[in-house]
Chain A
Amino acid sequence: MTEPPPPFPPLPRRVFLARTGVLGAAAGLTGGHGRAAAAPVPGVEELIGLVRPVLARLALDTFRGLAAFALPGDDAYSRAQGTPRGRAGGVAAEAGDLVVASLDRLVPFPQEVARPLTMALVTAAADAGIGLPRQLPPELGRLDAALRLLLRGDEKIPLSLVAAVLLGVLAAQVNPAAANGLFLSPFSRLSYRDKARVFELLEHTDSDLVALLDTHLPQPLRGSVSGLLKYLGSGLLSLVTFGCFTEHAVWDAGRRDITALPVGWRLTGYDGRTDGLDDFKGYYQGRKEAVGRA
């Protein structure tokens, strides 16, 4: 009896970093190889300071792509995935922004787990022989080192980065052509169908990815990645869809009120501000109480 073929090709580790979007982020940082070659070599701290916002943009770009996936609209992300609509959708509702803010500031996710996971993804880039130091000009050649420093430093690791890199890895696995393109995020370059395949892999906890991450987790957590990925995959889909229909993009925290009608309200016609509605239809068969023990 032979093993069935894997549903997707195994992760090509040599292009790991490029496919996670880090290479694209670096190009955005420097304006391209040629210009970067003439620039002075920045210090490590400076480089970290330059890299961090680029990676933040990568994460935001990923989750805007996710927002379009949940509720397509009249935005570039929806067009890129091949499902444009004539009305505002999840991107306009800023559902991706909500996911990033939620993951980075308010997910109660222990750094003791987030950090090894992130390190696993970054060291995998080096292990995979991406060879950034050999292939890129000097300051970009230090991008890998800067990423390592960022992730090994004392600062809290943004969980949105962990999640975005995970989606980027899977995006490259689903469609290698996603490594380069219009957006910073490989995930956002995918078609709607391929985005679904990313989540299929995430929910199936693809063994190659699990093995990659699992070896970097300390005991006694080793082996627990499978459940974690299922939780993450399911949670991202639920949270971003919730965000597509809420008021957060037009929320005035000071007044505790909205400044305009939310995208989701305009789409559905809902208005949730009321303290009462005229929908009382009486009592079923006229009974106002249940009586007796049987």
Chain B
Amino acid sequence: MRDVIVVGAGGGGPVAAKELAERGLDVLLLEAGPRHARPREEWTHYENDANHPLTGFFRFGPADRAKSAWFRETPQSSFVMQLSGVGGTTQHYYANSPRAYPGVFSGYSGPDAGAYDTGHRFPFRYAELVPYYEWVEATLPVRTAAMGTKEEVYFQGCETLGIPVQTALTTTGDSYRPQQNAILQPGGHAGRTADPRLLVFPRSTGCTFCGHCAQGCMQPVRAPRNQFAKRSTDNSYVPMALTADAWSPGGRAAELITDAFVTRIHTEAGAATGVTWRTGATGESHREDARVVVLSGGCTESPRLWHNSGLPDPNGWVGRGLTDHHLDFVVGVFDRDVGNSRGAGSAARCDFPGRGALEQAGLPPALQALVLSTSDSGIRGAYANGRGLQGPWDGPTGRVFGPELAELMQDGGHDRLLNVLVFTDDDVEPGNRILPSAFPADAHGPVPKV
């Protein structure tokens, strides 16, 4: 009997595991995917090796890359950019760590209160969450991001548009600012050289501006894992949880088991009592009991597991209200190098509370091409799917494809592009949901339909 079983070692589970292990509880952390314990031996900077959505070392699938990724039904033009493995989606994330707008919380009475999703406010006040923000921001840690070329260009645009600059942590109005990123900022030679002799820890510390946030952070070379620049949970909370006995008086090291896909939560008298998981390599099932089960399997797998475990859904809201941060890109073309493929993935942003955010986003060429070829508006110049919006840009919205793509990308063209990532429409919609798919079940039970 464990004190706690944490289901999922992604963005959330390791935080709970570290906090509880630090306090001496017996914590079992289960992860369906792999643990990349030796990134320099397991990762590369190459985009297909890393980011191929079906075969990359960053994908939503089992540890064995010769096996198929895991299936989710997505009956629309969409792709869920989740990762399995220790660190979960933080392995390829850009470490942006903004606080939520106060207007989305209960009790908010600012003049713009009506601009938010008033039907689905968080059931507590912003002030109640602030101490937790501060604790996480100190632990990761979260830092104000340095600029590269692309951020200089982005900020020049913000200044030209006359948007107010934000200098505080809490966003209270339309504003722009450097990102607050869970990234150790450049120290020593980092960010100041491309010389591999100098890009070695501790001569270089923190972010080296390598441009490979999406391929997993293992910088600087020779840095210990807990000094890697990007603070994905596999670089931050997981090492802390696994070594809690060494640094916390009374702490107890959490146990991590990977390749362990939880297929059922067990309950008795309305309380969780344990879990069953399947080991991918062998197909064997295991069961352990615990006083508490923490469900942190991500936005598709958590409701799937809930449904597949036959847990109660008294109001029908399990899996509903998926706020998936549906994104779109506006890509600007410059007549000079703006450093698209260099530096931290995203180090600048604009916020428009109640409406959304516009983030600067740098990309290496294959992911850039993927972004340019992903749209609901057809192929520019060919068809528009009934959309093809016109605006203060050249031509209709839609995929940049074929000859236009070639001309845009060639001869350094990828570094003349500046991406603005648009996050909006994050209100809670009951129809945006996860439910059991009618497609055939896999080894872990009925698959989720997104």
Determine if chain A interacts with chain B: yes
Q: Which residues of A contact B (CB under 8 A)?
A: 69-73, 83, 85, 87, 89, 98, 102, 105-110, 112-113, 192-193, 196-197, 199-200, 203-204, 220-221, 224, 226-228, 230-231, 233-235, 237-239, 241-248, 251, 256-258, 264-265, 267-270, 272-285, 287-294
- Once the chains bind, are B410 and A268 in contact (CB under 8 Å)? yes
List of A residues within 8 angstroms of B354 by Cβ: none
Number of A-B contacts (CB under 8 A): 279
Collect the chain A residues with CB atoms within 8 Å of residue B75's CB: 224, 226-228, 230-231
| Per-residue A-contact encoding for B371-410, CB less than 8 Å = 1, 0 else | 0111000110011010000000000000101110110011
Query: Out of A89, A248, A269, A289, which one reaches B406, CB within 8 Å?
Result: A89
Bound: A282/B177 CA distance, A: 14
- The distance from the CB of A282 to the nearest CB of chain B, in whole angstroms, is 6
Give the total of B residues in contact with A, Cβ under 8 Å. 99
5 A-B pairs within 8 Å (CB atoms) are namely A71-B406, A108-B70, A200-B385, A256-B49, A273-B45
Q: How far is the CA of A285 from the CA of B147 in the complex (A)?
A: 10
Q: Is the CB of B383 within 8 A of A280?
A: no
Distance of A200 Cα from B383 Cα, bound (Å): 6
Q: Does B216 contact A (CB under 8 A)?
A: no
Given A70-B401, A106-B68, A276-B190, answer yes or no on A264-B365 (Cβ-Cβ < 8 Å). Answer: yes
B130 CB-CB contact with A under 8 Å: yes
**CA of A280 to CA of B167, assembled, Å:** 20
B74 beta carbon closer than 8 Å to chain A: yes
Q: What's the Cα separation between A213 and B169 when bound, in Å? A: 54
**Given A89-B406, A220-B438, A272-B47, A291-B169 contact (CB < 8 Å):** yes
Instruction: Please give, as numbers and ranges, the residues of chain B lying within 8 Å of A230 by CB-CB distance.
Output: 75-77
Chain B nearest Cβ from A206, distance in angstroms: 13
Nearest B-chain residue to A108, judged by Cβ:
B71
How many angstroms from the CA of A203 to the CA of B47 in the assembled complex?
A: 27
Given B166, B186, B341, B405, which contacts A241 in the complex, CB threshold below 8 Å? B405
Q: Which 6 A-B pairs have the closest CB atoms?
A: A227-B75, A280-B191, A276-B208, A196-B382, A246-B48, A108-B71
Q: Could you tell me the distance between the alpha carbons of A144 and B328 in the complex, rounded to whole angstroms? A: 45
**Are B143 and A281 touching (Cβ within 8 A)?**
no
B334 within 8 Å of A (CB atoms): no
With both beta carbons as reference points, the residue of chain B lying nearest to A241 in the complex is identified as B373
A42 to chain B, nearest CB (A): 33
A98 to B177, CA, bound (A): 40
Check B357 for interface membership: any CB of A closer than 8 A: no
CA distance A108 to B149 in the complex (A): 40
Do the beta carbons of A70 and B405 come within 8 Å of each other?
Answer: yes
For residue B349, give the distance in angstroms from its CB to the closest CB of chain A. Answer: 11
The answer to whether B44 and A256 touch across the interface, beta carbons within 8 angstroms, is: yes
